[in-house]
Amino acid sequence: MDSDRIAEIIIAEIRSTVPELEAQPITRADSMADLGVDSIERSEIILATLEAIGVKVPMVQLHGPRNIGELADLLHAKSKA
Amino acid sequence: MPSPRPDLHSLVVTGIGVASGLGHGKDAFRAGLFEGRSVFAPLARPGRQRGDGSPPFFGVEMPDPPSILPPRVERTAGLSGRAAVAVLDEAWREAGLDHVMPERIGLIVGGSNLMAREQLLSLREYADRLDFLPPRHGHVFLDTDICGLCASQFPIRGFAHTIGAASASGAAAIVEAVEAVRSGRVDACIALGALQDVSLMDLQGFRALGALGAGPVCRPMDTGHDGFLYGEACAALVVTRSEHSAGTVYGRVLGTGFCTDGSRGPEPNSDAQVRAAQDALAAAGLVAADIDYVNGHATGTPSGDEAELATMRRLGLGHALVNATKSIIGHGLSAAGAVEAAALLIQMREGLLHPTLHLDAPLDEAFRWVRGAAQEHRIRHALKFSFGFGGTNVALVFGAPEGEAI
């Protein structure tokens, strides 16, 4: 599964967790904070994505990314590890 | 005996929201009560079936609460939370609480262990993949999440907390709301009897205790009674001083009695029930002869019904009309005291008493049971009983809104 596919999963989880963003265009360049996703929702979105791609990573290792694309890249790298 | 508290007489209930198996809102509640519509059925919500082919648990389940929360919040709120917000919204509007300063409004949520069914479902869903348990589970399982949910959606900034008194929790919330307003801590306090969302485990526990009836209906105070049937319910009552009332005045809260009897388990205690009633009457400055209507706790368990009848005999309430709301909507557990107080106040307002269903052969024919059909009656002073496992005994005395202070 490549980084773009992981980003699609993240974006789908964002829309599911924050239904108010259902119709809003979301790209790899957006950050969850800028979209108004709160910290608990962010954790929920990441956990759901991890489960979808079959990866277990401690949340503490996932604080660096500044946008969805960087998060997808990081998860992609973890999935290869 | 407590000394009379004349300042209690200025406390009124000005807003009511209610949800039960009869539907959402007071109109559905009122219509179903007075029609005496029986809504008992096998419990169908996930998490309430034994799954081994044995007979189902009977009881009452409500329609889904109206969707009034933002979708983002609603998806994280369970049935208890959504029902709480719905009844609070109805009570809030009716009482005109937008005109009260948020810092002068309090909320007391009556109930504990409110979300057992959802915890059971979560355990089933995540037992094999705990690493992916959504983090919201770290806070939404708390009963106080209902306080937070309500205060996040309504401008309640005085206080918000829970009070647990088993099946008397809703009535205990009314007692505490009265105290909070009477003390001057707030100008308005919402007493919310929360929906106790029971699981299969809770129901089986009640059955094992011998407290739960087999169904298909519940027969409080009837010789054919065999236990209570669970009923999903939730109600909010706004207690305020009469000078702060902006809307409907349903009735006055004249006196409360709230005592413990030293028992740990489910066994009722008539001595303490009498004491609670005497405390409430004394606080109201009334005697039993002044009471013209009793809304019983009346669960339909053999020992509970017998103890309550003994209590009413000892108090000398044979002249009063009596009915049992649980015969229609089942036993709301934590919500029951608040929902039944709502039923009492709605009957007071309508001048009509709802029938007690399935009361074909009363345990004691000497009492003036309301049965068969609704009965006209202008309530002047009413007594409400509410008892809980663990030795909790609550009595509330309400007076008609137009009554003179005594």
Q: What is the ipTM of this complex?
A: 0.91
CA B79/CA B232 separation, integer angstroms: 10
- Contacts B70 to A, Cβ<8 Å: 20
pTM of the model: 0.95
Q: Tens of pLDDT along chain B (406 residues)?
A: 454 554 545 899 999 999 999 999 999 999 999 999 999 999 999 999 988 888 999 999 999 999 999 999 999 999 999 999 999 999 999 999 999 999 999 999 999 999 999 999 999 999 999 999 999 999 999 999 999 999 999 999 999 999 999 999 999 999 999 999 999 999 999 999 999 999 999 999 999 999 999 999 999 999 999 999 999 999 999 999 987 777 789 999 999 999 999 999 999 999 999 999 999 999 999 999 999 999 999 999 999 999 999 999 999 999 999 999 999 999 999 999 999 999 999 999 999 999 999 999 999 999 999 999 999 999 999 999 999 999 999 999 999 997 644 3
CA B203/CA B261 separation, integer angstroms: 25
- Contacts B131 to A, Cβ<8 Å: 47, 56
pLDDT score at B57:
97
- Pick from B67, B122, B131 the residue to mutate for testing the A interface (most A CBs within 10 Å): B131
Pull the structure tokens for residue B400: 């008609």
Residue of B nearest to A38 (CA): B72
Sign of the alpha-carbon torsion through A40, A44, A50, A55: positive
CA B253/CA B160 separation, integer angstroms: 21
CA B80/CA B83 separation, integer angstroms: 5
The pLDDT tens digits of the residues spanning A24-48 come to 999 999 999 999 999 999 999 999 9
Please give, rounded to a whole number of angstroms, the shortest distance from the CA of A18 to a CA of chain B: 5
Backbone angles phi, psi at B28, to 5 degrees: -65, -40
- Pick from B69, B132, B140, B152 the residue to mutate for testing the A interface (most A CBs within 10 Å): B132
CB pairs under 8 A between A and B: 26
CA B167/CA B335 separation, integer angstroms: 7
Tell whether A55 is within 8 A of chain B (Cβ).
no
- Contacts A44 to B, Cβ<8 Å: 134-136
Cβ contact B329:B39 at 8 Å: yes
Cβ contact B370:B354 at 8 Å: yes
C-alpha torsion angle, residues A37, A38, A42, A48 (rounded to 10)? -80
Cβ contact B391:B263 at 8 Å: yes
Residue of B nearest to A36 (CA): B72
Tell whether A32 is within 8 A of chain B (Cβ).
no
Distances (CA, A) of B337 to A51, B171, B331, B334, B384: 44, 4, 10, 7, 8
Tell whether A50 is within 8 A of chain B (Cβ).
yes
- The kind and range of the H/E element at B23 are strand B23-24
pLDDT score at B406:
39
CB burial of residue B35 (10 Å; 0-12, 13-18, 19+): middle
- Contacts B134 to A, Cβ<8 Å: 44, 47-48
Residue of B nearest to A42 (CA): B135
pLDDT score at B9:
52
pLDDT score at B190:
98
Of the candidates B70, B72, B132, which has its C-beta nearest A51's C-beta? Answer: B132
CB contact set of A49 (below 8 Å; sequence gap of 6+): A6, A9, A10, A13, A75
Q: Do B135 and A44 touch (CB under 8 A)?
A: yes
